[in-house]
């Protein structure tokens, strides 16, 4: 996913961690959340960039090169952000007085100041996600309040808005410049520039409150997850768990000064119990804890959700939209809420029969093995793994030794080189944790074109899940220098244990490919306007297109050998096992697709409602479970309370984007299948259209440039064994 972090309104790209995301202006809460800016070129030489003596040593104010992550402390955050907001605000006021603003006299200088603030905020937001501590959290919250106030002010700044209207009339603007200005003008509209004074005050107050609630939601998910642990002393209670999971649990307990086996709600720990534990009671305890995170006591997100939904609806109404979904679609490919709901419901009708059959198959298998046939949700992963191992001789855990992290990365980089002509080389950089790695990217002429960091292991004080965020955008600055893009790739895989490297599940290898697809989108752009470079300015329901396309190479017989070799012997994945992996590709695919559709419907139904009584999310989810799911969740489950994508990650009224983009990706991959999965000219065609253009051209036009027609969902349904 693409990550979300708030970025300043003017001259900043707006993005969201692709899970947590981008446009040219921040567009307040509506600009789709997370921006990224230029690096590897110093900030332009402006005499007004003088930094007060008291801030001279603040690492957040050093824009000469890559961030000095290890030196950033909580005490640096508020002073740096306050200073950058002040200087940026002064420039907005000053530059907006120009009687005849032009791209060079107005846009570029203002963008430089926006980039300084955005660049610092990117570091702060990122550290809040991966190195959260009580003092840093407090500093982040204080700075976020300042940021939100400034963001609202900038989005409603009349003189700046008029300047953009004048820029729109400038002759000889190129495609990227025109798109950036159009996005900016839309951003002003969605930030309330046309509201009266009283409405603007209310709109700004809502913005500020929503920003705080989003952070609170995220913090409470994190705190709730970290608060739960289960210590098991009797190994017999852990029958079925693989040695790798047991060893990790032993080391986890040891790290806390405890004896026995320690399990948590970090995903690698949780999924090990759900997949392998023969102890049904243990699976239920783990599932209950996981599905009731952030639903009680001080970390209860239910009231947070209620308030977020009400405020979003109020904000949509202020802007003249019927509901928040309509507002959200103003920046997406989909044209109306009806189109999205029809899209989701049509897929439900096609997918549900396969999901019903998938569940029946599991029930029959349970009967064969003498397991309870009145299945519960905590039985599904366990039975599916047992059934898959028996029917296809594929056990996910037995495959781990063939997917060591470094081999998967090397194979991934090899595939990227074959397709797009790039080379990835490890390099040195200041990092925020000892496990972080840094890489530079070079083109065929051996020119340095981009860089990225990887932070791949789960740990405390780090958000769960996986995401890409742009740290720095490609951009041509006002002094003529070109800043190169830098990406952040974050996952939560199991750490190396007992002298072994991190051994990935095949599913985790797919996750790595997915997030690197986002990185490629960010890094291979050829657009020099940051607002529409890379993932910036891309319609939210198309931003998952490149990432989901890249997943296909993890399911290809020619590509898999490049990422799968035994970590001890170096032997390739046996041909027999390769065949079995591919044969089992669509095993339980109906259930997986239906589950994603349930999430999409929950999100979109919540945001098409105009009334949000208390616990609306729980009631809407119950309705969807009863009408769509083949095995409904228990009444006590609280799916929405950890649904970070839509309550703190930029996907509000947009979770359908995963399935929407899946249609694009599956269809586009048919060309690679036809031409050859390593066909360089096909890879170049994709890079030259979708990746190079970033957000400067409408996503549908880019798809048609590559595929020669509009997308068709047939390929997705065939790919998943539905047709």
Q: What does 353-386 look like in DSSP terms, one character per residue?
A: HHHHHHHHHHHHHHHHTT--SS--HHHHHHHHHH
Look up 515 and say whether it is catalytic: yes
Q: What count of other Cβ atoms lies within 10 Å of the Cβ of residue 557?
A: 12
Helix-, strand-, coil-residue percentages of the chain, each rounded to 5: 60, 10, 35
Element (H, E) at 147: helix 134-155
615: left (phi over 0), alpha (psi -120 to 50) or beta: left
Tokens of 356: 């019903």
Tokens of 272: 């090990």
User: What is the DSSP code (8-state) at residue 391?
Assistant: H
Residue 342: which residues within 8 A CB-CB, separation 6 or more? none
Direct distance between the N- and C-terminal alpha carbons of the chain, in angstroms, rounded to an integer: 27
Beta bridge partners of 231: 262
CA atoms of 532 and 138, how far apart (whole Å): 33
Instruction: Given the residues 144, 405, 508, 515, select the one marked as catalytic.
Output: 515
CA atoms of 8 and 25, how far apart (whole Å): 7
Tokens of 409: 């990365």
Contact 636, 288 (CB under 8 A): yes
CA distances (Å), origin 100, targets 179, 340, 381, 554: 20, 42, 64, 53
CA atoms of 285 and 282, how far apart (whole Å): 5
Element (H, E) at 426: strand 423-427
Contact 214, 648 (CB under 8 A): yes
CA atoms of 84 and 102, how far apart (whole Å): 24
User: What is the DSSP code (8-state) at residue 494?
Assistant: P
Residues 265, 271, 272, 275, Cα dihedral to 10°: 140
CA atoms of 34 and 643, how far apart (whole Å): 18
> Which positions are annotated as active-site residues?
515
């Amino acid at each position: 996913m693409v990550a979300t972090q708030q970025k300043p309104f003017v001259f900043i790209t707006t993005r969201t961690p692709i899970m947590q995301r981008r446009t040219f202006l921040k567009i307040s809460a509506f600009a789709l959340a997370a921006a990224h800016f230029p690096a590897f070129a110093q900030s332009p030489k402006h005499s007004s960039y003088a930094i007060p003596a008291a801030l001279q040593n603040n690492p957040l104010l050093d824009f000469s090169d890559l961030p000095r992550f290890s030196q950033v402390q909580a005490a640096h955050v508020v002073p740096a952000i306050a200073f950058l907001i002040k200087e940026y605000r002064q420039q907005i006021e000053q530059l907006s007085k120009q009687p005849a603003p032009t791209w060079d006299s107005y846009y570029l200088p203002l963008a430089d100041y926006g980039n300084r603030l955005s660049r610092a905020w990117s570091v702060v937001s990122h550290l809040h996600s991966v190195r959260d501590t009580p003092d840093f959290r407090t500093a982040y919250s204080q700075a976020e309040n300042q940021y939100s106030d400034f963001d609202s002010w900038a989005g409603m700044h009349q003189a700046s808005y008029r300047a953009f209207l004048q820029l729109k009339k400038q002759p000889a603007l190129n495609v990227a410049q025109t798109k950036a200005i159009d996005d900016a003008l839309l951003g002003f509209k969605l930030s309330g520039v046309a509201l009266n004074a009283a409405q603007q005050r209310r709109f700004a107050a809502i913005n500020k409150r929503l920003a705080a609630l989003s952070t609170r939601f995220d913090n409470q998910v994190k705190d709730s997850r970290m608060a739960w642990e289960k210590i098991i002393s009797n190994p017999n209670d852990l029958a079925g768990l693989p040695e790798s999971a047991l060893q990790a649990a032993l080391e986890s307990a040891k790290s806390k000064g405890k004896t026995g086996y320690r399990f948590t709600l970090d995903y690698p720990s949780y999924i090990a119990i759900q997949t392998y534990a023969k102890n049904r009671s243990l699976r239920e305890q783990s599932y209950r804890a996981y599905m009731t995170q952030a639903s009680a006591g001080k970390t209860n997100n239910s009231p947070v959700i209620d308030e977020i939904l009400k405020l979003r609806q109020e904000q949509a109404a202020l802007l003249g939209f019927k509901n928040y979904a309509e507002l959200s679609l103003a920046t997406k490919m989909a044209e109306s809420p009806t189109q999205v709901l029809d899209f989701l419901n049509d897929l439900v009708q096609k997918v549900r029969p396969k999901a019903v059959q998938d569940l029946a198959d599991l029930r029959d298998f349970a009967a064969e093995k003498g397991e309870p046939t009145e299945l519960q949700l905590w039985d599904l992963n366990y039975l599916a793994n047992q059934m898959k191992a028996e029917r296809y001789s594929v056990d996910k855990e037995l495959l781990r030794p063939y997917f060591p992290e470094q081999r998967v990365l090397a194979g991934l980089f090899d595939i990227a080189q074959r397709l797009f002509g790039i080379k990835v080389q490890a390099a040195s950089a200041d990092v925020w944790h000892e496990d972080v790695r840094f890489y530079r990217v070079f083109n065929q002429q051996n020119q340095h074109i981009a860089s990225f960091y990887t932070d791949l292991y789960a740990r405390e004080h780090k958000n769960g899940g996986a995401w890409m965020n742009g740290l720095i955008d490609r951009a041509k600055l006002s002094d003529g220098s070109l800043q190169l893009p830098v990406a952040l790739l974050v996952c939560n895989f199991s750490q190396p244990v007992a002298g072994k490297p991190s051994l990935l599940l095949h599913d985790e290898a797919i996750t790595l490919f997915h997030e690197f697809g986002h990185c490629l989108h960010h890094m291979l752009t050829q657009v020099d306007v940051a607002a529409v470079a890379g993932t910036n300015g891309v319609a939210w329901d198309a931003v998952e297109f490149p990432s989901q396309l890249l997943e296909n190479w993890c399911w290809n017989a020619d590509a898999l050998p490049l990422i799968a070799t035994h970590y001890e012997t170096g032997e390739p994945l046996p041909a027999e096992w390769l065949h079995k992996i591919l044969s089992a590709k669509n095993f339980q695919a109906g259930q997986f697709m239906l589950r994603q559709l349930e999430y999409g419907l929950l999100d979109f139904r919540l945001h098409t409602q105009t009334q949000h009584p208390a616990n609306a999310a729980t009631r809407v989810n119950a309705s969807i479970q009863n009408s769509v799911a083949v095995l409904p969740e228990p009444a006590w489950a609280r799916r929405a309370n950890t649904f970070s994508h839509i309550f703190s990650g930029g996907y509000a009224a947009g979770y359908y984007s995963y399935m929407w983009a899946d249609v694009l990706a599956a269809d586009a991959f048919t060309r690679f299948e036809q031409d050859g999965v390593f066909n360089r000219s096909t890879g170049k065609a994709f890079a030259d259209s979708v990746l190079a253009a970033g957000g400067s051209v409408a996503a549908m036009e880019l798809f048609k440039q590559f595929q020669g027609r509009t997308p068709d969902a047939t390929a997705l349904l065939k790919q998943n064994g539905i047709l």
